[in-house]
Amino acid sequence: MLSYWVQPKDFPALGWIPMVVSPIDSRYKTEMNALFEEGAKLASWLEVEVALANAHAKLKNIPSQAAEEISQAAQKVELARVEEIEAEIHHDLMAMVRALSEKCEKYGGFVHFGATSYDIEDTATALTLKRAIGIIRKRLLATRALLKRHAIERKNLVCIARTHGQHAVPTTYGMKFALWFSEMGRHMERLDQAEQMISVGKMSGAAGTMATFRGKGSKIQSLVMQELGIKAAQVTNQVVQRDRHAQALFTLALIAATLEKIAKEIRNLQRTEIMEISEPFGSKQVGSSTMPQKRNPHKSERVCSLARLVRANVAVALENIPLEHERDLSNSANERFIFTQGFIVTDYMLLEMNKILEGLQFYPENIARNLELTGGAVMAERIMIALTEKGMGRQQAHELMRNCAMESFSSKKKMLDVLSSNKDVLKFIKKGELALLFDPKSYIGESIKIVEQAVGKD
């Protein structure tokens, strides 16, 4: 990858600074970047070329000394030389082939023997994406561990559930985290499926017929993939079919969507008027350039923003599936973006979410306050069930509680006070018994059991 340096004319004190165009090379850079840098791509190409030479040697298509020389020469190829050749011939893969051949003293003519460009490129891409999925899996395991910890620690922390943005019935924070933990578990399964689907290479020539390998194509392909630790595609044309790559990117999009779900919930629960939980906020952190009091959930907002980018890549990946005839080049340019961007950004999002979860702050007093915000109206369902159990028809009980809730809202009276003066209610439930039904902590159903079953007992 070429490096560029600029010196701002109006700000000479800045001196010469590197020009970075994409934020994934700076702001959102992770260890994932190393897999997609130009040097790493070249190394993967060379890895496949060496495996191809070794396969030919095993089948006695080329001398064993040729494979040894090609393997040694691959260690000496320099990225700068490949880029120099590419600038002349305008073909990146062939530039690598020529650079590798140059490093061979005697057997350079056997480099890339019988192969076409995408035998090398697609097989190398499989290696890269398999390794990238390994990093994502590592991050996901860390995310699940944090979600499990919160689920167990908060399984008794009662809070108000919200549906349609309105207070519904009591639930627990353990339920929230158990839900996310379970969803991330499904993503682990999807990652395994995506890895299996993408860990496939080819060595089948220009149209997938293996004609250049003179009857030994299947054996060569099998030997190459065996050495590289991936599977051989059953049938290809000039490329490995792009439904495989689309599935990998769709899996990333699903992970990103769940991360956004979590981040969005944290953002909403951090609203000033709610403030039940918040992402960590450093002692020297600045929330706004003009409003010193602000504690903006910028990490969660960043996760939500980047999720849109990851999802958008799926549409491009789907467009790459219907290539013309045995292939065209319309997938090539955009894949330089969507693979790199998709994996790096997802990796960054997971790292960011793990930081949020690690330092997540809870405000029990606000959680308790919000439980009582409706004056007990959120217990209407429980009273309705109790009335039904006492002999009132379910629909009659529902209408009665609906009217009582309307009265509580308009009169600003507590729900218990409204019900305590309602003759229809008192026919079935005594005042003393009625008061006991307004404890939200005793109306969380089987939530503790659900959490323990979902995440496993501590």
As annotated, the active-site residues are 164, 288
**CB-hemisphere CA count at 13 Å for 164?**
3
* Cross-strand pairs, 160: 170
Query: d(Cα 49, Cα 35) in Å, to the nearest integer?
Result: 18
Residues 6+ apart with CB under 8 A from 339: 36, 125, 128, 129, 245, 249
Beta bridge pairs of residue 215: none
Distance CA 358, CA 349 (A): 14
Alpha-carbon gap, residue 431 to 388, rounded angstroms? 17
Contact indicator for 36, 339 with CB cutoff of 8 Å: yes
CA geometry: angle at 291 spanning 290 and 295, to 5°?
Answer: 130
- Angle of helix 117-153 relative to helix 332-358, nearest 10 degrees? 20
3-class secondary-structure state, position 163: strand
**Alpha-carbon gap, residue 154 to 357, rounded angstroms:** 13
Sign of the C-alpha dihedral, residues 114, 120, 122, 126? positive
Q: Which residues contact 201 (CB under 8 A, 6 or more apart)?
A: 48, 122, 123, 126, 127, 221, 224, 225, 228, 230, 231, 232, 233, 240
Which regions of 335-453 does DSSP assign to beta strands (E)? 361-362
Task: Report the alpha-carbon distance of residue 444 to residue 435 in Å, rounded.
Answer: 17
